[in-house]
Amino acid sequence: MPYTVPKLSDFSAPALDAAMRELLSALDQESAAVVSENDWKAFRDRWMARKNGILTQINDLWLKGAPGPSKRDVGQLVNALRLLVEDRVPKARGNFDTFEDVVGHPTLRGSVGEVIALKRKRTAMVASVDITLPGIRRPIGAEHPVIKTMNEIVGVFRNLGYSVEEGPEIETDYYNFEALNFPPNHPARDTQDTLFIAGQESKPLRDRLLLRTHTSPVQIHTMQKMKPPVRVVCPGKVHRNDALDATHSPIFHQVEGLAVDTNITFCDLKGTLDHAMKALFGSSVKTRFYPSFFPFTEPSADVQISCIFCDGKGVRDGAPCRNCKASGWIELLGCGMVDPNVYGFVDYDPARLSGFAFGMGVERIAILKYGVDDIELFFQGDVRFLEQFG
């Protein structure tokens, strides 16, 4: 009796399983019986003909007839069977291709029967793939926490109308130090702090190549190619000659910002950074500015935010807060008004223009935002750590 698709009335898992097995066994037998082109065409039409092929029938009799709650299960079953049939039908051609090749071959003539038997066995093995096994899962990747934080910081400034500029990681001494008003023999140039490219002793100092120690050179590149007003943020990777430990890394990321225009004052700087810190850490965060020194800004300041762990109280759960060393404040970034000397390097008029610059470490902010206690975790590539941010 050739197989006919039964009309199902029972849609329970065992009943579906039995129906599926009966259909697969028919597919097996019929595909193994294909030994010529004509056989194959009939086999193909019986299973795949659009109008009344077996695939169309299971769709009509099983899926359309299934009651609401079983629809999803039956749908998955019908789809899986469709894939299997669509795979098996073309493969059945292999039966007679080989058959004819073998028959034509004088030394193999005696063993034609064996070859066909082997061929059928192999086809049957393909059919016994267990379609109820779970499929292959391909996990979707996620943004690295450092990149995620960097994009968040950049997003805050983009919303304020800043554009994004990037620059090379290998810089000359001129862009990394000299044009930023670092005097000759400034200790930052020391090889204890800066990674220089080897073998450049014959070059003048300003042309020597190094791995940039901050993203500030991008500010110089930007001012060289852009006339004021300038409002840019420069995200990127920077390098220092530091050994890796819980709080230091030879590679880290910075976002620096620069605004140059007429009449820009320290108030604009304070307002901008206060807004940015609230956007990053929540509207209850307070900021304060402490005098500091950077060669390329004057005056310069360090910015502290009220401790997000103890709400600026310095005490948490009755004990001194460890995160702010009980001070209630956390130091987060450096900033200042652009030193007029810097304008001299880029042909800006210091009498007419003023501006501010700021820079922050992305890892430092990510550590605070996500409560990570060791900077090394960001660079070890351990999926167990990273997937927590997915």
Question: 178-207 mask for Zn ion (x: CB under 5 A)?
Answer: ------------------------------
To Zn ion, the closest distance from the beta carbon of 307 in angstroms equals 3
User: Does 24 engage in binding with Zn ion (CB under 5 A)?
Assistant: no
To Zn ion, the closest distance from the beta carbon of 284 in angstroms equals 14
Residue 183 contacts residue 295 (beta carbons within 8 Å): yes
Nearest one of 287, 333, 278, 326 to 306, comparing CA atoms: 287
To Zn ion, the closest distance from the beta carbon of 327 in angstroms equals 7
In the set 99, 309, 370, 389, which binds Zn ion (CB under 5 A)?
309
Nearer to Zn ion among residue 184 and residue 320 (C-beta): 320
User: Does 331 engage in binding with Zn ion (CB under 5 A)?
Assistant: no
To Zn ion, the closest distance from the beta carbon of 149 in angstroms equals 20
Nearer to Zn ion among residue 300 and residue 306 (C-beta): 306
What is the CB neighbour count within 10 angstroms for residue 83?
11
Q: Return the ∠ at Cα 134 (arms to 130 and 136), rounded to 5°.
A: 110
User: Does 310 engage in binding with Zn ion (CB under 5 A)?
Assistant: yes
To Zn ion, the closest distance from the beta carbon of 276 in angstroms equals 20
In the set 180, 233, 260, 321, which binds Zn ion (CB under 5 A)?
321
User: Does 324 engage in binding with Zn ion (CB under 5 A)?
Assistant: yes
Q: How far apart are CA 113 and CA 111, in angstroms?
A: 5
User: Does 255 engage in binding with Zn ion (CB under 5 A)?
Assistant: no
To Zn ion, the closest distance from the beta carbon of 315 in angstroms equals 8
Q: Tell which positions 96-125 bind Zn ion, by CB under 5 A.
A: none
Residue 264 burial (10 A CB sphere; 0-12, 13-18, 19+):
buried
**Residue with the two structure tokens 């900021």:** 287
Q: Where are the alpha helices (DSSP H) in 247-353?
A: 266-281, 340-346
Nearer to Zn ion among residue 7 and residue 325 (C-beta): 325
Nearest one of 232, 247, 239 to 210, comparing CA atoms: 239
Q: How far apart are CA 193 and CA 359, in angstroms?
A: 18
- Helices and strands, number each (H, E), in the chain: 13, 11
User: Does 323 engage in binding with Zn ion (CB under 5 A)?
Assistant: yes
- Contact set with Zn ion (CB under 5 A): 307, 309-310, 321, 323-324
